[in-house]
Amino acid sequence: MFRIGQGFDVHQLVEGRPLILGGIEIPYEKGLLGHSDADVLLHTVADACLGAIGAGDIGKHFPDTDPAYKNADSANLLKHVWNLVKEKGYILGNVDCTIIAQKPKMAPYIPKMKKRIAGLLEANEEQVNIKATTTEKLGFTGRGEGIAAQAVVLLKNINL
């Protein structure tokens, strides 16, 4: 049996924060603001996984009112989500993600992000695709006020 899920998330770019994206740190003059480390890409992948198993969203599992998640490493949040997926008997088919950011240029960092996400989902790198796009300077992403990310995940149940 197959299940699909999709995720979408946005975080604001501000000065004085490191830019953590896809589980790696990217050199940039600004970073993402959030209760956690604000890794918008890992949040999106986590939400897609939760969607696929019908388990709500990351806000439900890791409330932003809980001090336990203050500056949390989103890789740990995704690992927790992935354990829920595995408990239900699923393995990854594939995940396809899009980062929506005017700057910085993501292409040089995508191989490292891919490797990190594949590791967190206990999958091969061939099962993970990450794309990046600008919005041609339009809207909040185009003005560099924030970064958005989207993901679609396909899970396969090994028991059904």
Ligand X SMILES: C[C@@]1(CO)OP(=O)(O)OP(=O)(O)OC[C@H]1O
Ligand Y SMILES: Nc1ccn([C@@H]2O[C@H](COP(=O)(O)O)[C@@H](O)[C@H]2O)c(=O)n1
Q: Which of 75, 128, 132, 151 binds ligand Y (CB under 6 A)?
A: 132
Residue 6 in the binding site for ligand Y (CB under 6 A): no
| Residue 58 found at the interface with ligand Y (CB under 6 A) | no
Q: Which residues pair with 120 in a beta bridge?
A: none
| Interaction partner, residue 105 (ligand X, ligand Y, none; CB < 5-8 Å by kind) | ligand Y
Would you give the binding string for ligand X spanning residues 130-149, x where CB under 6 A is met? --------------------
Interface pattern 60-99 for ligand X (x via CB under 6 A) = --xxx----x--x---------------------------
User: Residue 52 binds what, of ligand Y, ligand X, none (CB under 5 to 8 Å, by partner type)?
Assistant: none
In this chain, which stretch among 40-48, 62-70, 86-94, 99-107 interacts with ligand Y, using CB under 6 A? 99-107
Q: If DSSP states are collapsed to H, E and C, what string results for the chain?
A: CEEEEEEEEEEEEECCCCEEECCEEECCCCEEECCCCCCHHHHHHHHHHHHHCCCCCHHHHCCCCCHHHCCCCHHHHHHHHHHHHHHCCEEEEEEEEEEECCCCCCHHHHHHHHHHHHHHCCCCHHHEEEEEECCCCCHHHHCCCEEEEEEEEEEEECCC
Residues of this chain that interact with ligand Y (CB under 6 A) are: 101, 105-107, 132-134
